[in-house]
Amino acid sequence: MEPTTLVVNCGSSSLKLALFDRKDQKLATVLVERLNTPHAVARIQGLETQITIPAEGGYEAALQAVLAALKEEGLMTSDPTAVGHRVVHGGETFREAVLVDDDVLESIQACSGLAPLHNPVNLAGIEAMRKLYPTVPQIAVFDTAFHQTLPPRAYRYALPDHYYRQWAVRRYGFHGTSHYYMTREAARRLDRTPATTSLISAHLGNGCSITAIRDGNSVDTSMGLTPLEGLVMGTRSGDVDPGLFDYLSTKGITANQLSKVLNQESGLLGLSGQTNDMRTLCDLADHGHEPSRLAVDVFCFRLAKYIGAMMASLSQLDALVFTGGIGENSSRIRQQTCSHLGLLGFDLDAELNHAHGGFSDGIISNPDSRFPVIVIPTNEELVIANEATRLAGSPMARDGAQ
Ligand code: ADP
């Protein structure tokens, strides 16, 4: 029986599963939507059949239904040999992926205050899988772990010291799994080792973040204590003046209301008044819709400013890397962003930039560009699978810890 690794990404209303073999081939992908409602359904990618998810029984029942369907369809012929879980927040406790045991579960729980919408559901997924497969090693892979190499000058906010000491207020950074994958892949493409590769990595999806990577380590990143800071995103504002809180309180806006606005009603959606979808925005902008054009302009300008800012952490730059739905697919956003950076030297080749999108990848800069610019499709699931496979084969896992 070929050993397989299952990757579980458990959200509050969705659940994603991916099954990999040991040659990094994906055998199946499942997406469960409207989870925890009576209308939950699951779909196996590439198949028509819909899997009905029981309305009761939470994550365990949903996982059980999905795994049974995978077996029925012949996509999963035996129990997985390892299970990797995406966990959003590892605080300062987790600098790398870990084999899950009771202490690890407690520590993930302890980080929940920093990610109240994510960590509890990530934990529910781990607990459900432990029940379903009590002898299979479960591995937690953290979005924050890659950024634990940030130096204090990059992770500390200029706030009273005890905010950090007492309440752990600092920059953590997110999308770490994706930025790590960029490092690994860019190094391969540049014929270097990750440990000698320095990059600026821009992950541009619905959430957007940018990271400076020096000799393989994250040394600065745009997301902060929460994934709200930094770049303009689909519905998140990114950076705003903290004085906004005070000013808007005089207008009767409460902290709760403002938090909802900054997270769900701002960014591309807020500026355009239309949509958080970059493709649609670009179409609207082309048809003369001014607010959409402005949304695209603000997005690209903020991104360009951050690319400049990330240079402060580097003494060498091997490439600027674009990834995520927007970074991989939108030659226009890449072009408009780089057009602000003439002084720094990111010179795109129009033809190459246009050719690379969708599922292709590669260098899109001019051979004369001071710095290469590369498009690399991200693959966070593969990183989680690789980490899970690696740790499941470790002596600790073989000794029976799970
Ligand atoms: P998530 O963060 O939810 O995983 P994705 O990485 O899938 O999101 O990115 C979604 C974004 O990518 C959306 O704004 C979508 O419009 C954008 N996108 C996808 N294809 C294109 C394209 N061809 N041109 C511009 N934007 C695109």
- Determine whether the annotation assigns residue 263 to a binding site: no
Q: Which atom of ligand 1 is nearest to the CA of 207?
A: 2
pLDDT tens-digit series, residues 284-343: 999 999 999 999 999 999 999 999 999 999 999 999 999 999 999 999 999 999 999 999
Show the tokens assigned to 255: 């902290």
How do the residues of the chain divide into helix, strand and coil, expressed in percent and rounded to 5?
Answer: 45, 20, 40
> Is 144:226 a contact under the CB 8 Å cutoff?
no
Please tell me the pTM assigned to this model. 0.95
**Residue 329 CA, ligand 1 centroid: distance in Å:** 7
**Residue 58 CA, ligand 1 centroid: distance in Å:** 30
Q: Which atom of ligand 1 is nearest to the CA of 358?
A: 23
Ligand 1 proximal residues by C-beta, below 6 Å: 205-207, 234, 277-279, 282, 324-326, 329-330
pLDDT tens-digit series, residues 354-397: 986 554 689 999 999 999 999 999 999 999 999 999 999 877 77
DSSP 334: H
DSSP string, 183-219: HHHHHHHHTS-GGG--EEEEEESSSEEEEEEETTEEE
pLDDT tens-digit series, residues 27-51: 999 999 988 888 888 999 999 888 9
pLDDT tens-digit series, residues 232-286: 999 999 999 999 999 999 999 999 999 999 999 999 999 999 999 999 999 999 9
DSSP string, 53-113: --SSSHHHHHHHHHHHHHHHTTS--S--SEEEEEES--TTT-SS-EE--HHHHHHHHHTGG
Annotated catalytic residue 143: yes
Question: Measured between alpha carbons, how far is 175 from 88 in angstroms, rounded to an integer?
Answer: 9
pLDDT tens-digit series, residues 81-98: 999 999 999 999 999 999
pLDDT average, residue stretch 91-119? 95
**Residue 134 CA, ligand 1 centroid: distance in Å:** 38
- Determine whether the annotation assigns residue 386 to a binding site: no
**Residue 334 CA, ligand 1 centroid: distance in Å:** 13
Q: Which atom of ligand 1 is nearest to the CA of 378?
A: 6
Answer yes or no: is pLDDT of 402 > 50.
no
pLDDT average, residue stretch 182-208? 97
Give the closest residue to 132 by CA, choosing from 59, 50, 45, 53. 59
Exposed/middle/buried for residue 77 (C-beta within 10 Å: 0-12, 13-18, 19+): exposed
pLDDT at 12: 85
The residue from 102, 143, 161, 368 that is catalytic is 143
Show the tokens assigned to 143: 């979005």
pLDDT at 360: 63
